[in-house]
Amino acid sequence: MKYKTAKNNEDLKLFFPVLKELRPHLSFEEYLSIYQEAHARDQYEMVALVENEKILALMGYRVLCDFVRGRHLYIDDLVSVEKSKGHGAQLLSYAEEKARELECTGGLRLCAVLENTGGIKFYEKNGWKARAFAFVKKPL
């Protein structure tokens, strides 16, 4: 198995079907547009766990800095093609290594929607602690 970081539109095209499992509302055009803006503004990166040219899992992340955590790695997207194979956990380990490499002294952070009980159990099993509620509101 190896890790592959998206470097061009060909890689993004390869990653899209896997990310679409997590974000089914996205068209390919929206996906490209959002990726390009997030990559330019926040250095958002996508990395895939690949075996025999098949993507097993995919993660999107960026480095943020705020008053709560300082510099930290934020995981926006994490999806495994086959559940319970350990691929998601491998990407979380990759994220920890990347956080050390990028000097993210505030650690790592992610959000999981409350209805995602399977995801929440997965994160807890992998040593993550629930520390906050995330609130959202659309502008009127």
Which CATH number covers residue 9?
3.40.630.30
pLDDT, tens only, 112-126? 999 999 999 999 999
Entry pTM: 0.93
**92 lies in some domain:** yes
**131 lies in some domain:** no
**Structural domain boundaries enclosing 44:** 2-125
- DSSP annotation string for the chain: -EEEE--SHHHHHHHHHHHHHH-TT--HHHHHHHHHHHHHHH--EEEEEEETTEEEEEEEEEEEEETTTEEEEEEEEEEESSTTSSHHHHHHHHHHHHHHHTT-TT-EEE---TT-HHHHHHHHHTT-------------
**130 lies in some domain:** no
Residue type, 104: C
| Tally of domains within the chain | 1
* Structure tokens, 73: 């790695």
**134 lies in some domain:** no
pLDDT, tens only, 44-101? 999 999 999 999 999 999 999 999 999 999 999 999 998 879 999 999 999 999 999 9
